[in-house]
Structure 1
């Protein structure tokens, strides 16, 4: 699929690390021009206080075969987002793919699930990043996207609509839950509005993501990630950020992508549908493992879910 998206212009909002970076790079590998935004630059770290930068992401996109363009943007600031979209319009004249991957996983007091115990300022900031910033970005971007048919909006989340309806993950708490569930409704609303104009919107969840932050959490690297399985068996079903990137590429390259409009999707589901794999040639499905084994009480080896 190295030329599948030649001529396509994409905006990955929140491309500094994790899923956003993986999506940006895979879009680039398929030939797209990718505007990657974030607040961590080589000149200044964001409140994540991590080393990854949007400049590095842009360089990886270009090295993969696309054109990577790094733009520092705080997506909770409407003026910055307006300027970003105006820049894309001036430089490209169009925008075909929008990925809203604005999360703020550092804005959660993990294992403090009770609403009255969780730090309120942190929780509200999580909602601003995970909901408000998505809406601000779509507000400005969609007007440019609908000028031509084929627009695709992907709302990144954690868990499918069905999973989030069935299970409440208490270790994450109310603010996390609301932000992740809202992504499904945002995709539904945008899909309804885009459909008459030839566009599509979906929500998409990766499985257990081997992001930079997750690898650091377990004290492993991408080369040694399996060393974390003894302490957390479910990590055996984990996936690289490239996997969700390939899911987005598959959607963007599908001439019949409208069949998915307003749907809630997962990487494992789309891998089966489109036939792509993770970088190691496997097709992990963390959500199937979690619902059937970890939460569902069944028996199964994580290796059987790859």
Structure 2
């Protein structure tokens, strides 16, 4: 392979929340670009997280290695500063203090999200637990990992979110979590730019996670059959698409020009030319503008 095939050879990445879904897609595509990727989360061969799903960080790490990188699984509870500190200490020791890419993709909030009730009818502790899991974990991880990047005066932080505009996302605590993650990128960008480190928020479109495939009763090989249940599913994208967006950003020598922005796969594919795993280039914003705007309103202005 040429350096064009492996633009991230020699680079080190941490994908926090890399067990499944978008995090797994990002980890694998960073590996395909040649990176060493630390894959973290609570679901491992040693035991499942509270989500009780079968995917593990070891499986993701193996896929990273199979794709051409080096995958390293490290079981981490990102709500526990001591756990995250141990992870960062390991990276520093094994990689001579190097960390080039930090992806904050911890989520796990689906079973905590109440789509049926307004704030005043929701369970308060459940909503606050969602915020702790979806926002505080990102803060803890950045706080402890960023010194590695600042010391080298280079790097990229990617905050994975849902949506890149001010449109309300349908549930109070869900909306607050996803909007807050965008603001985390903005705040980190302001503080990191003088040190040569970029920070962005990034959203996929309609993501075909493992859970979403199960919901539609399909596999990644047969996913198009899901459009019979929901025509919008025909415009969905695989986790690889999100992963290739991150890999393209990480390989961009001028990524600092994008720092502080809320980005989307549907904008980045035009700039970088990447495709989804099946060779297509999904554009969910274009689909929204053509088919969903009358029902749900415009996506809104970028945050």
The offset of 1:118, in angstroms, is 2.5
Gapped runs of 5+ residues in structure 1?
Answer: 299-306
Determine the structure 1 residue equivalent to 2:94.
91
34, 42, 46: which is aligned to 1:39? 42
Asked whether 1:191 is paired with 2:194, we answer no
Deviation at residue 150 of structure 1 after TM alignment: 2.4
State whether structure 2 residue 5 is matched by structure 1 residue 2.
yes
- Quote the residue 2:169 is aligned against: 169
Map 1:289-300; keep pairs closer than 5 Å: 289-296=287-294
Q: Is the 8 A contact 1:48 1:106 kept in 2?
A: no
- Residue from 102, 115, 123 that aligns with 2:106: 102
User: What is the deviation of 1:284?
Assistant: 0.3
Query: Could you tell me whether the CA contact under 8 Å between 2:14 and 2:99 is conserved in 1?
Result: yes
Q: Report if the CA contact (8 A) 2:150-2:192 is conserved.
A: yes
- Asked if the contact 2:113–2:130 (Cα under 8 Å) also holds between the matched residues in 1, the reply is no
Between the aligned partners of 1:292 and 1:132, the Cα distance in structure 2 is 36
In structure 2, the CA distance between the partners of 1:260 and 1:296, relative to structure 1 (3 Å rule), is farther
Match of 2:32 in 1: 29
Which secondary structure does the structure 2 equivalent of 1:169 belong to? coil
- Measured in 1, the distance between the counterparts of 2:82 and 2:279 equals 43
The C-alpha deviation readout for 1:35-64, integer Å capped at 9, x for no partner, is 000101112010110000000011000111
Contact 2:41 2:77 in 1 (8 A): yes
Gaps of 5+ in 2: 297-303
8 Å contact from structure 1 (residues 107, 126) kept in 2: no
Residue correspondences, number? 292
Q: What is the TM-score when the length of structure 2 is the normalising length?
A: 0.93
CA distance in 2, matches of 1:109, 1:273: 34
Contact residue 159 and residue 287 of structure 1 kept, 8 A:
no
Q: Is the 8 A contact 1:109 1:119 kept in 2?
A: no
- The alignment's TM-score, normalised by the length of structure 1, stands at 0.92
Counterpart in the other structure of 1:285: 283
Q: Which residue of 2 aligns with 1:264?
A: 262
1:302 aligned residue: none
Q: CA deviation at 1:116?
A: 2.4
Alignment partner of 1:40: what SS? coil
